Amino acid sequence: MYPKLIADRKAWHTQRLGIVGTLALTPISGRSAVDLHKQKEQVGAAAVDYVERLYPDRLKLGIGTGSTAECFIRGLARLKSRIEVTVASSARSEALLKELGIPVVDLNHVESLDVYVDGADEINDNLEMIKGGGAALTREKIVAAASERFVCIADETKLVRTLGAYPVPVEVIPMARSLVARALADLNAQPVWREGITTDNGNWILDVHGLSVDCPETLEKRIELIPGVVCCGIFAHNAANLALLAAGDKVRRLERTDSPN
Ligand code: 5RP
């Protein structure tokens, strides 16, 4: 069962990214990986405009992880002189921030952040998400929780009616991997160990297929109560306040109605 599910996960990514072999240029549903990258740049730039307008003086930003977040980071370089501080959600994002000369500090050195900007693997119209495709979910949830607002940036294919077609990443303490996997199997799901991947926190990832994510907040809490689970990749408690979604050559805004301004 496990090898089949691992193959399914690869197929899922392959289909989403339009990757064939080492080339990422084959059109999928009329769209190439080049178009997809342009869309990521487009929402990255829209998020830079958004933080510039909302916080015209000094910026205190939480920074996400992944290819879309990296487009945001590159766009952010033009506001460098106005950035008071950033906190990164991964070593990978931290390295890019430093390379661009953007100040980045440890979360323990800041009291709060204005806004957290990050991508998602799936998002619903309530702005609840599945995250963790890049194995950074725990730090992402922490930095999001330290921020007043969460802006999700993604292309519109990530918008779904019900979360769960994308396997839910769960970060686990290594010694508890099998224990957690059995508890997840009891939820009628199929956990698959993302072998070879160790998180920035020294932990492992289980990708959980087949979960019914009808009530994201309840399921998030339930999974996070399993001993050995560090973090569940469902972001319902820390849902986004605003989503900027690339659709064709436009950026669509989706806002939570209970959001502060
Ligand atoms: C990393 C994440 C990313 O935000 C998510 O995987 C989306 O990545 P990308 O922008 O590359 O599609 O949660 O842990």
Q: Do 16 and 115 belong to one domain?
A: no
- Residue 161 burial (CB count, 10 A): 7
Choose between 29 and 205: higher pLDDT: 205
**In the structure encoding, which two tokens stand for residue 186, read together?**
């009891």
Q: Does residue 256 lie in a domain region?
A: no
- Give yes or no: residues 14 and 44 share one domain: no
- Do 82 and 207 fall into the same domain? no
User: Are residues 108 and 156 located together in one domain of the fold?
Assistant: yes
Q: Is residue 170 part of a domain?
A: yes
The closest alpha carbon to 73, from 119, 110, 14, 30, belongs to: 119
> 189 and 175 in one domain?
yes
pLDDT at 13 over 60: no
Q: Are 195 and 221 within one domain? A: yes
Cα 171 from Cα 203, distance rounded (Å): 7
CA-to-CA dists, residue 260 to 57, 128, 135, 223, 241, angstroms: 19, 16, 29, 28, 8
Residues 116-171 have pLDDT tens digits of 999 999 999 999 999 999 999 999 999 999 999 999 999 999 999 999 999 999 99
pTM listed for this prediction: 0.88
Q: Is residue 110 part of a domain?
A: yes
Evaluate whether 48 touches 75 at the Cβ level (below 8 Å).
Answer: yes
Judge if 53 and 176 occupy the same domain.
no
Residue 260 belongs to a domain: no
In a domain, 5, yes or no: no
Any catalytic annotation for residue 140? yes
Residues with CB under 6 A from ligand 1: 64-69, 118-121, 131-137, 140
- Residue 63 corresponds to which tokens in the numbers above? 């920074």
Ligand 1, pocket-test mutation among 12, 19, 39, 68, most atoms within 8 A of CB: 68
Total of domains in the chain: 2
pLDDT of residue 12: 42
CATH of the domain at 86: 3.40.50.1360
Q: Is residue 108 part of a domain?
A: yes
- Provide the β-strand partners of residue 151: 117, 242
CA nearest ligand 1 atom 8, residue: 66
State residue 260's pLDDT score: 53
- Name the pLDDT band for 8 (thresholds 50, 70, 90): very low
Rounded distance between C-alpha atoms, residue 197 and residue 199, angstroms: 6
Same domain for 37 and 155? yes
Asked whether residue 143 falls in the same domain as residue 197, the answer is: no
Question: DSSP string spanning 91-107?
Answer: HHHHHHHHHTT--B--G
Question: Are the C-beta atoms of 115 and 151 separated by less than 8 Å?
Answer: yes
155 and 243 in a single domain? The answer is: yes
Q: Look at residue 116 and tell me if it is in a domain.
A: yes
Give the nearest ligand 1 atom to 68 CA: 10
In this prediction, residue 257 has a pLDDT band, given cuts at 50, 70 and 90, of: confident
Phi, psi (rounded to 5 degrees) for 104: -135, 135
Dump strand ranges (E) for 54-103: 59-63, 83-88
Catalytic site residue from 140, 148, 224, 255:
140
Position 241 scores a pLDDT of 98
pLDDT at 56: 81
Asked whether 88 and 69 are in contact (CB, 8 A), the reply is no
Nearest atom within ligand 1 for CA of residue 69: 10
Contact 128, 215 (CB under 8 A): no
Q: Is the pLDDT of residue 196 over 90?
A: yes
Give the CATH number of the domain where residue 219 resides: 3.30.70.260
Residue ranges making up the domain that contains 210: 10-22+161-233
Structure tokens at 91: 């070593």
pLDDT digits over 42-91, tens only? 999 999 999 999 988 899 999 999 999 999 999 999 999 999 999 999 99
For residues 242 and 146, membership in a common domain is answered with yes
